[in-house]
Chains A and B, each alone.
Chain A
Amino acid sequence: MSMIVSSVGQGLLWASLGVALFLTFRILDFADMTVEGTFPLGAAVAVTAISNGMNPYLASGLAFVAGAIAGLVTALLYTKGKVPFLLAGILVMTACSSINLRVMGGSSNISLLGKTTIFSSHFLESLPKYFDSVFVGFVVIAIITGLLIIFLQTNLGQAFIVTGDNRVMARSIGINTDNMTIMGLMVSNGIIGLGGALIAQNNGYADVSMGIGIIVIALASIIIGEVVFGELTLNQRLVAVTLGSIIYQFVRLLVLQLGFNTNDMNLLSALILALCLMLPQLNKGASRLTSRFGNLMQQLTHTLKKGVEKP
């Protein structure tokens, strides 16, 4: 039971990464590698600030700002420097690994043992084991998802969506697509930085290598949500990312129960994601077999290809 509660808590905490990546990967149509750098950056900034006596909420906010700045750099490289987006992300990610070590004063791991984190409140400590991460994870992801749902329904949010959908058309109706890209990458990486801060506080430490494989985990939440829940509106899809993130943690739990260890997780996550992403191609082969299996594959493909469409 406690394993399940723990998985739900982790799923909720990690969901912010999926939602953040949804903004760039699904809406802007931009696979942003920066996140592998901003996640440990957020963790490093928050943990270092907390170790130096900063209020943990303020430190988490600072992690958001640090992430947003990294996102800004990627966005400027891409929009103004005309660096291909994949490379722009990789450049910033690589630069972040040096910066993270600087932030952490040269050590690759800082512990929060004995420090006050957002998990140290009386209320959270009075909850049963692992319910603290469920509570914090739920509150944070509910606020982020709620704010994004409202934002996407504003004129600015609509301009952001259309930038990813048809850049030429967006420009032809007066939308500054560069600014939309910059805004999207800043907000997305800000949320990732915040996620890094939360997870580091939950784990009790920050580690420079904690960013490895983050993009795959975040993409897996998005794609699991899409595969499991099928045809949804944009708002429902944002919520589905959180559910996908929880399902991902259950899969992880299952895999660990099967006797694999945590070191195998990146390989397994990559395999699951690769399979999901190859569905459209697999479907081409499957469509020749006019079977129920083929139909199922077609449904899945349709779901996967779907971007920000609404019914």
Chain B
Amino acid sequence: MTPLLSLKDIVTKVNTGTPNEVMILQHLNLDIYDGDFITVLGSNGAGKSTLFNTIGGGLPVDEGHITLHGKDITHTSVEKRTAFLARVFQDPKMGTAPRMTVAENLLLALHRGKRRTLRLRRLKQQLPHFKAITTTMQNGLETRLNTATENLSGGQRQALSFLMATEQRPDLLLLDEHTAALDPKTSAELMHQTNERVTQENLTCLMITHHLDDALKYGNRLIVLDQGKIKFDVRGDEKKQLTKEKLLSFFDTIE
């Protein structure tokens, strides 16, 4: 089976050509298959965010190749990659347009990766659909469709970001600690909703988290990044049998 997305021998450097040059991803290899729900663990500076930026196209790759369905996308721009890729950021402020309404944000994301033309936006026709999908988040978002997103709570904003990322089914969903900025209860609720949606729709997903419990509980594959390489990669039954103690002892061996 060809992987959905394949990273081959990826090297990503920052401050290239200066005395401060640092190699963040060091010949990293990763194959992501259709239906993978991968939780990504790693200490600060391990290269998790760099991995996401490399997949997203925000950081140029210094060496190696990225392929999607076998097609080389190493040099494809951020905007073009959004045709198959959706992303939820850690910061609730980053994923939504603050002065536009919830419905307007949803409408913008509905056209993710498509050409924006001079056709009228037709917001009204979409409202029933938006009402339906916001209701599934069970946090009152459906009553705030005409509210500017800057007036939403952090939890509602993140739920909206998540909906925006998934309403137009992406081939690959990147969740960058998307519940980290929320209080424990709201965080748990969004995590639950995330899991429901990803498993029901069989989305392929990479999720960075610092919660070992979440990393163990959710997903069907777990990887650990350290010093720009994937040091640990388990899936299926092997992942189910993994315990927090085993993970912690593994972390001790790499530090």
B82, B101, B146, B150: which contacts A174 (Cβ < 8 A)? B82
Asked whether B97 lies within 8 Å of A165 as measured between CB atoms, the reply is yes
Total interface residues on B, using CB and 8 Å? 37
Q: Kindly state the separation between the CA atoms of A208 and B235 in the bound complex, as whole angstroms.
A: 72
Which of A45-53, A132-140, A151-159, A221-229 contacts the other chain?
A: A151-159
Asked whether B95 lies within 8 Å of A169 as measured between CB atoms, the reply is yes
A169, A307, A311: which contacts B146 (Cβ < 8 A)? A311
Asked whether B116 lies within 8 Å of A158 as measured between CB atoms, the reply is yes
Asked whether A151 lies within 8 Å of B118 as measured between CB atoms, the reply is yes
Asked whether B79 lies within 8 Å of A171 as measured between CB atoms, the reply is yes
A-B contact count (CB 8 A): 90
Complex interface: chain B residues within 8 A of A162 (CB): 97, 100, 108
Q: Kindly state the separation between the CA atoms of A210 and B89 in the bound complex, as whole angstroms.
A: 48
Q: Give the shortest distance, in Å, between A139 (CB) and chain B (any CB).
A: 23
Complex interface: chain B residues within 8 A of A3 (CB): none
Asked whether B146 lies within 8 Å of A166 as measured between CB atoms, the reply is no
Asked whether A166 lies within 8 Å of B121 as measured between CB atoms, the reply is no
Asked whether B100 lies within 8 Å of A308 as measured between CB atoms, the reply is yes
Interface string of A286-311 (1 = CB under 8 A from B): 00000000000000000000111111
Asked whether A156 lies within 8 Å of B164 as measured between CB atoms, the reply is no
Asked whether B148 lies within 8 Å of A166 as measured between CB atoms, the reply is no
In chain A, residues 140-180, which have Cβ atoms closer than 8 Å to a Cβ of chain B?
150-151, 153-159, 161-162, 165-166, 168-176
Q: Kindly state the separation between the CA atoms of A166 and B82 in the bound complex, as whole angstroms.
A: 16
Asked whether B108 lies within 8 Å of A173 as measured between CB atoms, the reply is yes
Asked whether B121 lies within 8 Å of A153 as measured between CB atoms, the reply is yes
Residue of B nearest to A308 (CB): B99
B89, B100, B111, B118: which contacts A161 (Cβ < 8 A)? B100
A–B pairs, 27, beta carbons within 8 Å: A154-B117, A154-B119, A154-B120, A154-B121, A155-B117, A155-B119, A157-B121, A158-B108, A159-B108, A159-B116, A165-B97, A165-B100, A166-B94, A168-B89, A169-B96, A170-B97, A172-B86, A173-B82, A173-B108, A174-B83, A174-B111, A174-B112, A176-B77, A176-B79, A308-B99, A309-B100, A310-B100
9 further A-B contacts with Cβ under 8 Å, apart from A172-B56, A172-B86, A172-B89, are A154-B117, A154-B119, A156-B116, A158-B104, A166-B93, A171-B79, A173-B111, A309-B148, A310-B148
| 4 tightest A-B CB contacts, nearest first | A174-B82, A165-B97, A174-B113, A159-B116
Q: Which residues of A contact B (CB under 8 A)?
A: 150-151, 153-159, 161-162, 165-166, 168-176, 306-311
